[in-house]
C-alpha cells in the first residue's frame, strides 16, 4: 500500500524543516513548495492526499491557492490544513472550506494530530 502523500507550501524554509521532518518520520511522504504558484503546479501534476499551507504566502496568499484548489474539479478530493496567525482570518474560514486549521504557534504534536485526523495514519 502506498504511503499517504502531503504537499506542504510555505515560503519560509525555517517553517518547513521541522514539520516536514516530523511528518516524514511519522511515515508520510512529504513534498515541499516555496510558493502558491509552485504548489498549484505540483498539485496539478502529482496526486496528493493532503495540502498543508500557510495562509500568509507572498504574491497569491494561501487563501487564493485554496480558492483555486476548491474551484478545480481535478483537485476535488484533496484535503487541506491551513496555518494561520494566532488572531484573525476567521471570516475566510467561512468562505473557503478547510479540513483543519492550526494557529501559530503550534506544537508538532498538534500538527501530527491534525494530519492523522484529516487523512489518517500513513
Each domain of the chain, given as residue ranges in start order, spans: 5-117
pLDDT of residue 72: 94
pLDDT per position as a tens digit, 81-117: 998 876 655 555 556 788 998 988 899 999 999 999 9
CATH of 5-117, one of 3.10.20.440, 3.30.2320.50, 3.40.50.720, 3.40.50.2300: 3.40.50.2300
Comparing CA positions, the residue from 42, 44, 49, 41 lying closest to residue 23 is: 49
Mean pLDDT of 13-24: 89
Alpha carbon distance 88, 42 (integer Å): 29
* Per-residue pLDDT band at 79 (split at 50, 70, 90): very high
Pull the grid cell for residue 33.
513548495
Place of cell 508538532: 108
**Phi/psi at 95 (5° precision):** -90, -30
Q: Which residues contact 30 (CB under 8 A, 6 or more apart)?
A: 5, 6, 7, 8, 20, 23, 24
pLDDT per position as a tens digit, 42-59: 999 999 999 999 888 878
Query: Above pLDDT 70, what percent of the chain?
Result: 91
Amino acid at each position: 500500500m502506498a504511503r499517504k502523500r502531503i504537499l506542504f507550501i510555505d515560503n519560509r524554509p525555517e517553517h518547513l524543516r521541522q514539520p516536514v521532518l516530523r511528518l516524514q518520520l511519522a511515515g508520510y511522504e512529504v513534498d515541499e513548495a516555496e510558493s502558491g504558484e509552485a504548489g498549484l503546479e505540483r498539485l496539478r501534476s502529482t496526486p496528493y492526499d493532503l495540502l498543508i499551507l500557510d495562509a500568509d504566502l507572498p504574491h497569491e496568499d494561501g487563501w487564493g491557492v485554496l480558492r483555486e484548489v476548491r474551484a478545480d474539479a481535478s483537485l476535488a478530493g484533496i484535503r487541506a490544513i491551513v496555518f494561520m496567525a494566532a488572531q484573525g482570518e476567521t471570516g475566510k474560514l467561512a468562505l473557503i472550506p478547510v479540513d483543519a486549521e492550526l494557529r501559530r504557534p503550534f506544537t508538532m504534536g498538534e500538527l501530527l494530530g491534525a494530519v492523522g485526523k484529516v487523512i489518517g495514519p500513513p
